[in-house]
Structures are given as C-alpha cells and as structure tokens.
A and B are shown apart, each in its own frame.
Chain A
Amino acid sequence: MLVAIAGNPNTGKSTIFNELTGAHQHIGNWPGVTVEKKEGEMSFEGERIRVVDLPGTYSLTAYSLEERIARNFIIEEKPDVIIDVIDSSNLERNLYLLTELMELSDRIVVALNMFDEAKRKYKIDVNKMSQLLGIPVIPTVATRGFGISDLQKVIVKGEFKIKKFEYPSDVEERIKKIENEIEEMGLKNARWHAIKLIENDVDVISKFRNEKKILHLAEHMRHEIEDIYGGDIETLMTSFRYSFAHGLFHEVAERINVGGVTITDMIDYVVAHKIFGIPIFLAVMYLAFNFVFLVAAPFQDIIDFAFNGKDVAGGHINGLIDISYMWMSSFLPQWASSLINYGILRGLAAVLTFTPIIMLLFLVLSILEDSGYLARVAFLMDRITRKMGLEGRGIIPLMLGFGCNVPAVMATRALKNEKERKLSMALNPLVPCGARIQVFAFITSIFFTNNQALVLWSLLILSMIVVFVMGFIYSRTIFKGEGEPFVMELPPYRVPTLKGITVHMWEKSEGFLRKAGTIIVGAATIIWFLAALPWGVKYGSPQSYIGQIAFLIAPAGKYLGLTPQAIIALIFGFFAKEVVIDVLFVLYGTKGAIAIAMTPLQAYSFLLFILFYTPCVATLATIYEEAKSLKFVTFVVLEGLLLAIVFSFAAYTIGLALGVGT
C-alpha cells in the first residue's frame, strides 16, 4: 500500500510523516524545506505501508518545482491514499489545495493538524466536514502525537465516498465536452486533464501537443468561459475553487469573535447574520421587484401604444394592429384579417408588453447571481430548507422556479437523494414562475395601482410560507428520508460584467420569447375561434362559444369570487400562464372593462388561485419526464388545485366578512 502526504508548507506534514513512520527528519519553518522526496514505512495490523512525504505546496499548478513533483507523483504513482495535512488554524486558505487534490484522487484523508490552536479561533464541526466531503477527517496535533492512531486506522480502514467538486454549470458543460474527447483516447484522469487544458496548463498542453482537435476545443472553451465570466481563465478557475473552500469553511467552522479583513468577509458577516440575514434578503427582493415593475412601465406602455394604439379625447390613435387589420382587409376576407390581427397579433402583443418585465427581472436576478449574493441566499436558507426536508442546495431549483418551472424541475437532478428530488419537484410548481408573475403584474396594474409591488411581494411571501409548510409536512410524511450533506460554494463578491449579465439575462428570457411564438399563438388562435364562433355573433359576446362556456361554469367560481371569464382564463392558462392575460383581453376587450368586472377582493382571490393552481402543460410534461410517474404528476396537479381553492376561498370569505376590497 502506498500513502502520500500532501499539504501546504509549514502545516506539520513532516511531523506527521515522522509520527507515522518513526523516521527522523529535520523539521524547519522555511517554506519548501521538504523539496526532496522523503520515504518511510509504517505497519498497521500486519499491513506494510510505504509513506511518501511530498513537497509542501499551496496548489498543484505547473509553476514551481515543488508543485510539479507533487502532482506528477500523484498522477504517475497513483497512491492508494493521500493524506492532506491542513493547518486548521488557517483552515480556509488550506482548503484550496484540497479542492485540487479532489480532482486527482478519490481516496483522500484530511488531517486537521494544529487542532489545538484552531480551537482558539473557531469551532470546527469535524463530522460535518467529513460528511460534506465524503472522506475521513481526523483532528491531529502532530507535535503531541494526538490523532495519529486514528489517522493510521482510517488510512487502512477508512470509508471513501468522495463528493465531486463541481464548477458552475457553464464551466462544467465545457469541461465535460473536453473530458468526453479525452476519454475516447483512453487516457486516465480525463476530468483532471480536461480542467488543466482549459486552465492552459503548460505541462498538460505539451502532453497533448499532437492532439490538435482537443487543443483547439480547449482553447475555444477557455475563451467562452472568459467571455461569460469576464477575466482570465486562471483567475476564474482559482476563484471557483476558492468559492468552494470559502463555502466549506462557512459550513464547518464558526469563528469565535468574528472579524473580517476582506470586503467579502465583512459583507458575509452581515448578510449571513442570524438576525439581519433574512430581513436583508427580503429588502433586496423588494427593491428588486420595485425596480423591475416601475422601470418596466414606460417600456410596456410604449409597446402597448405601438400595437394597440390609444383612446384619446379626440378619438382613437390607431396602433399597428389596427393599421394591419385595415390593410389586410383590403385583400383578405374580414374574418381572416380579424383572426390574424385581433386573434394572433393581439395575443402576441399582450405577451410582448410584458417582455420588459421579464427581461428586467432576469437582469436583476443575473446581477444578484453574478455578484455572488444569490449563493449567500442559498447559504442563508440552508437552515430553513433542512427543516423542509431539503439540503441547502434544494433552494436553487426553488429559486430557479421564479424564472420558469421547467428548468427548475430539471435542476432537481442536482439533488442526489431521490426522495428529496421528488419533494423538490412537488414544491416547485408552488413557486410563481415568470409567466405567473407577468399575470400578477397585469392584474395588479389594474386593481392595485398604488401598491403593485406590495401586493406582489405579499404573494411571493405567501408562496414561500406555503412552500415551507408543505415541505415540512411532506418531509415528515410522504417524502420521509435522510438529508444529503453538501458544500455550498460562496464565491467572493464582485462587480458583474456587462457581458456576463447580458448573456445570462438573454439565456433566461429567450425561452419566453420563443414560447410567445409557439404555444401562445396556438392558444390565441383557439381562443379567437371560441370567441368568434358560431358565425354572426358578436366577438366574445355571451352568445359566442366562449360566452356559453362562461355561463355554464359560472357557479363553480361563486364561492371563490371568480367571474366566469376569470375561470375561462384559468382553464386556458393550463397551456401557458401568460395566456390568462390574452383571454381576459379577448373576453373583456380593454383594461377598463376588466377593472369594472371585478372588485379588488375578487382580483386578489383570482391572483391567489393563479399563484397555486396546476402548473402549465410544459412543466407537467417535464415533471413526468423526470419522475416517470403519472401518479406523481396527478399528485402535483391535485396539490395545486386544492391549495388554490383553499386560499381563494379563505381570502374571499374573510374579505367579504371584513368588508375589505369590496
């Protein structure tokens, strides 16, 4: 058996080496004192073990001789176990090397050396650290021989279920592409080689000098990552590893009498604070939504004006739809012109009007994400998500749900535990997606002009509470199980690059625009036919098919305060939530007519129904794809409907009793 001892300089590696092997060696304080390879032998329960003391290094790049010796030994000699000796009194800084070792080997033992000194600075949760990393972690004080026998024991008998250290998804995708190419060559350590190629590591580049295709691919991927994150690749990859180290440190160590030095430390001290953390999060979210809705307003109005024109004192200013209708009527039958313009084009316009909100929303989310704040939110929510039966990472799909439930449901793949995954999928549709937020924006702009952000904020808070309560109940009943520990990366705070936020904003907004061109146009066409047929009736009148449907289902909404038109809009919202706006426009004609048709209380009840009721068809299809269970999809549909009915009924009944909003 071969064991290698790695670690930063002056962490006590040589002392541990001496304790393990009994050999005598000079122990100095100067960095690089162990530049030569030192070997010794130990035996444990009859097994003879060769131990090699590697030179002390801070990382495993190809810059210094020590780093080359250390990493080449690991790659070429493939030790059975690597002991990473960490100076636990400088825990965070020392964890960086561990992230690099984790890319090279899956059999690592962490020796938390100088543990006695560390105890004066932090409270370190050793068991949690071991769980999070999936490897043995042993506190040691090598100078006193403390922990050495435990170290010997885990070298031989330790359990190694190492967790993969993951870079951001943009980077992981690119690493994977190169990794696949390298695997085809049959080379071992494909992932490590792929990472080093992206990092432009001179030694690895030289190893691949005859593989032009791979080198070209790596260069391309490198430039893409640099473009997205704005910076040189080496700094970026280093910062990703430091993010992990920083996150791990915050998970396992609690500073005694905290004081910060870097800006990141200072901000983290406050935004992750037990008392102030959540109020700051709520304030940031409120400011973000206030900014989104009020700054989007002029853009929305100009789009609305361009398409629909405007009623003014002197008559009506024609919009593009009116102009196009008149022009098409000159060569098309009137019904066809009406279908194209007042059916399809008006449906599209209704959605386009809300594009500024969606783009600004994603702009704000991208800024928060790229600045590093969202990672803190996930960290902050860890304690709460664990109470709802999810690991801290479970907050990510839930937060993605604010954008679109489809990628959010797909993002639950990151959760390793099957029960947690299903729990997250069951909770996700209760998070209002961007499309629902569009509908909220539309309704609140009519009924709650002066308190738009406040009403929306109340809906979001309610959805968060319901998600928490349902998670709490589910995790103790139908989705009962053990949580999976993990490390949340905490990247340093930085000013996001314009390119980075633009790319992220576009990636997220693109889906909505595409949907506007497909599902919504289809739905708008069906709605037009239902509103225009049978031939000869007034468009959207009680005699039209849609009017007749409304009459039939009117009693269903009586106790929830929902008008028949609102119920029809909800049914069509099953295609895509944005369609609700289109249907309301078709049925009522103008915003003014909608404002007269409902009281604010009815509007709020309608908003509550939209907040919880069954997700759109695309989300349900994705849930089916991920869960492969029709029973589970039915459960999600019924869960949403039940919650929607309960909350709408409660709000409407209480509101009526108190005489609020009537």
Chain B
Amino acid sequence: MKVEDGVKLSVIYASFLSALTLYFGIYEILKYFISSIPYLFLITLTALYPLLSLRKKLNSLDIFLIILAFLGALGIAISDTYIPGDVMGGFVLILSSSLIFAGLKDTYSMLYSGLSFYIVGLFLLLGDAVIEVTIILAEVTDYYINCIGESCAGYVFLLRPEIILLILTPFALYPFFKRTHFRRREND
C-alpha cells in the first residue's frame, strides 16, 4: 500500500475518531448539568461532523461514515451509564477533537501544516486516556485500602469513554510515523 493511501485511510479513520471524541466530550459536559440528554441532537451533530472535515459533496464513503458514526453514537447513548458527567474532562475531549478536525484536510493532502494539528490532537487524546487509565488504577487501589478492616463488595469497574479512545487512537497515528513523506505548502 502506498504511503499516501495509508495516510488517507488514517485520516478517514481519524475523522470518525474525532467525531466520537466530540460526541463523548459534549456528552460529558451536558451530563454534568442535565441528567437527561437530548440524544437525537447529539447524534445528528456527530453524524454531520465527518462531512465537514473531508468534502463538500457526499460520496459513498461519506455516507458509510455517517451511518457508522450514527450507529456508534446510538450504541453509546444506550450505554449512557458509562459516560460520566465531567465538565473539564469533556472540554479536553472537545479540544482534542477540534485539533484533529483542524488538521484533517491538510493531512489528507500530505501537508505539514495539517499534520501538526492532527498529531497534537491525537497525542492530547492519548495523554488524556493514559491519565484516565492511571486514575482508574489508583481508584481501585484506594477502594481496597479503604476497605481494610471492613467487609466490602468487589470493585465495580466502569468503562470510561477514555478507555475506548485509548484503544482506538493508536490506529490513527500512521501519518505521524510517515511524517517524512509530508511536504510544506507550495508557498511556504
């Protein structure tokens, strides 16, 4: 597979990841303030999102992405209990998503200016996810420390969205490892 094709595939994948991240981010913030969230609004927003990043006209791939984002969002909306209400956590996710989004188009065109946003967004997302996983480990430890001398039930593990993102993000890093194939914009 050509590097350019690999980068294009990664960008398409990242647009989905960015949409999912944006969804989680908005959801975390709204859930902090409101217990019941108008899912439809969020899902519509999320489904439209990949379109903005790539093309003006729809093609079969875009439609596939919309359906994918729609199904993903719907699935997460159903398992609402896994997403916590977290204003700042949501802010970090929205910021990461915006950075990836800002870099999608130019990364697709193999330009450094886009790759800069793309990788900073992905690394911020990865950093956030790694920190969340560490925090979960600390919480489990703390739970059992507080249980010393008492009879406690086993720790109930909740799958935070950051863990899903930690698993999904590395697959979008392909352009970063192929950065030497990128070029400056013509008039740089």
Contact = CB atoms under 8 A, between A and B. Distances in A.
Interface of A: 255-261, 263, 265-267, 269-271, 276, 279-280, 282-283, 286-287, 290-291, 294-298, 301-302, 305, 310, 312-314, 317, 453-454, 457
A45 to B, nearest CB: 44
A290 B188 CA distance: 40
A257 B148 contact: no
Contacts of A296: 138
B74 interface: no
B174 to A, nearest CB: 16
A283 B124 contact: yes
A266 B112 contact: yes
Given A259-B111, A301-B145, 15 more contacts: A257-B187, A257-B188, A259-B184, A260-B112, A260-B113, A261-B184, A266-B116, A266-B179, A270-B99, A283-B92, A283-B95, A287-B128, A298-B142, A312-B150, A457-B88
Contact of B146 (A259, A270, A291, A301): A301
Contact of A453 (B88, B95, B145, B150): B88
Given A287-B127, A291-B134, A279 B88 contact: no
B145 A286 contact: no
A225 to B, nearest CB: 29
B38 interface: no
B168 interface: no
30 contacts: A256-B187, A259-B111, A259-B113, A259-B184, A259-B188, A260-B112, A260-B116, A261-B184, A266-B115, A266-B116, A267-B119, A270-B120, A276-B98, A276-B117, A279-B95, A283-B128, A286-B88, A290-B88, A291-B134, A294-B139, A295-B134, A297-B138, A297-B142, A298-B141, A301-B146, A305-B145, A312-B149, A314-B149, A454-B88, A457-B88
B131 interface: yes
Contacts of A256: 187-188
Contact of B116 (A269, A286, A305): A269
Nearest to B132: A290
A259 B102 CA distance: 15
Contacts of B89: 290
B135 interface: yes
Nearest to B86: A454
A294 B91 CA distance: 19
The CB with the most chain A CB atoms within 10 A, among B102, B145, B148, is that of B145
Contacts of A317: 148-149
Interface in B89-120: 89, 91-92, 95, 98-99, 102, 111-113, 115-117, 119-120
B88 to A, nearest CB: 5
B103 to A, nearest CB: 8
Contacts of B145: 298, 301-302, 305
Interface of B: 87-89, 91-92, 95, 98-99, 102, 111-113, 115-117, 119-120, 124, 127-128, 131, 134-135, 138-139, 141-142, 145-146, 148-150, 179, 183-185, 187-188
Contacts of B142: 297-298, 301
Nearest to A266: B116
Contacts, number: 102
**3 nearest CB pairs, A to B:** A259-B184, A266-B116, A259-B188
Contact of A270 (B87, B116, B127, B183): B116
A100 B121 CA distance: 37
Given A298-B145, A305-B148, A317-B149, A286 B115 contact: no
Given A283-B91, A286-B92, A295 B150 contact: no
Contacts of A312: 149-150
A152 to B, nearest CB: 35
Nearest to B135: A294
B187 A286 contact: no
A267 B123 CA distance: 10
Nearest to A296: B138
A280 B95 contact: yes
Nearest to A317: B149
Contact of B131 (A287, A297, A305): A287
A287 B138 contact: no
B22 to A, nearest CB: 15
B148 A286 contact: no
Contacts of B183: 259
Contacts of A269: 113, 116
A132 B120 CA distance: 30
A163 B116 CA distance: 33
A267 B149 contact: no
A183 to B, nearest CB: 47
Contacts of A290: 88-89, 131, 135
A276 B134 CA distance: 26
A282 B91 CA distance: 10
A267 B135 CA distance: 26
B187 to A, nearest CB: 5
Contacts of A261: 112, 184
B91 A257 contact: no
Nearest to A294: B135
Contacts of B111: 259
A312 B146 CA distance: 10
Given A257-B188, A259-B188, A454-B88, A295 B135 contact: yes
Contacts of A453: 88
B113 to A, nearest CB: 5
The CB with the most chain B CB atoms within 10 A, among A255, A282, A287, A312, is that of A287
Contacts of B135: 290-291, 294-295
A389 to B, nearest CB: 30
Contact of B87 (A258, A283, A298, A454): A454
